[in-house]
């Protein structure tokens, strides 16, 4: 886990940190520590990173959705949702936000996160969409991004994972997000030439744009 003391950039309202390849459990603990120590004056942050291979099982996760672990660690975590896979070549954007200050409900935040990925893909002329019954972002019938959140005292953590250029095989070892036979895809397979560095920046920009638009709308309304 890299030192969190030095932000990569400090946009108008959000601190964005790039943490490289980071252990899942260490990052999860860092998110909990940050959330426990923050107050109403703490600036919101977005953490961009990748994880070594790991399955994470949300609080609603059912063990039967893990078909075979093939030696990959399984971590029972505190986000919502079922089981998913993280590995190198997948961008993670963790959102550490004061949702009360942003005046965001959980469902609205989920839609906002999805719209950030949809907007990113639109830049490459790829049509994507969310699904109300199964949160995430899909290109056709294949899932390209998954999400999960934890809300604690009006603060959220966890976030969204976008498949870029990774080994998708471990998704076949699970029922992704609890759905048997769910197809998954990634930006590389869709012909997007840009890699994780460029797409991480673009995803962070999209998330900030959506969050800032939300904040400015609230300020205008009041």
Confidence at 13, pLDDT banded by 50, 70, 90: confident
Q: Return the pLDDT at 219.
A: 53
- Rounded CA-CA distance 34/157 in Å is 9
Q: Inform me whether the pLDDT recorded for 198 exceeds 50.
A: yes
Q: Annotated binding residues, as ranges? A: 79-86, 146-148, 159-161
Q: Inform me whether the pLDDT recorded for 39 exceeds 60.
A: yes
Out of 31, 104, 177, 211, pick the active-site residue.
177
Confidence at 121, pLDDT banded by 50, 70, 90: very high
Residue 2 lies in a domain: no
- Rounded CA-CA distance 53/173 in Å is 13
Residue 6 lies in a domain: no
Q: Return the pLDDT at 213.
A: 81
Residue 4 lies in a domain: no
Q: Please indicate whether residue 177 is annotated as part of the active site.
A: yes
Residue 161 lies in a domain: yes
Residue 221 lies in a domain: no
* Mean pLDDT, range 137-145, rounded to an integer: 97
Q: Return the pLDDT at 5.
A: 45
Total domain count for the chain?
1
Structural domain harbouring 82: 14-215
Residue 222 lies in a domain: no
Domain CATH number, residue 209: 3.30.930.10
Q: Inform me whether the pLDDT recorded for 9 exceeds 80.
A: no
């Amino acid at each position: 886990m890299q030192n969190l003391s030095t932000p990569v950039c400090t946009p108008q309202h959000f601190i964005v940190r790039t943490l490289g390849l980071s252990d899942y459990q260490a990052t999860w603990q860092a998110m909990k520590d940050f959330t426990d120590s923050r107050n109403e004056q703490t600036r919101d942050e977005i953490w961009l990173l990748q994880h070594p291979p790991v399955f994470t099982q949300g609080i609603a996760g059912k063990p039967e959705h893990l078909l075979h672990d093939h030696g990959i660690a399984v971590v029972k975590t505190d986000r919502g949702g079922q089981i998913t896979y993280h590995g190198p070549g997948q961008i993670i954007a963790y959102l550490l936000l004061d949702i009360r200050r942003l005046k965001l409900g959980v469902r609205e935040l989920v839609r906002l996160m999805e719209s950030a990925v949809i907007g990113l893909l639109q830049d490459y002329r790829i049509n994507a969409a969310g699904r109300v019954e199964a949160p995430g972002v899909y290109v056709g019938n294949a899932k390209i991004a998954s999400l999960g959140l934890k809300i604690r005292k009006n603060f959220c953590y966890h976030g969204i994972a976008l498949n870029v250029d990774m080994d998708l095989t471990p998704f076949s070892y699970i029922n992704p997000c609890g759905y048997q036979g769910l197809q998954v895809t990634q930006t590389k397979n869709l012909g997007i030439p840009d890699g994780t560095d460029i797409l991480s920046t673009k995803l962070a920009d999209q998330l900030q744009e959506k969050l800032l638009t939300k904040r400015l709308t609230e300020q205008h309304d009041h």
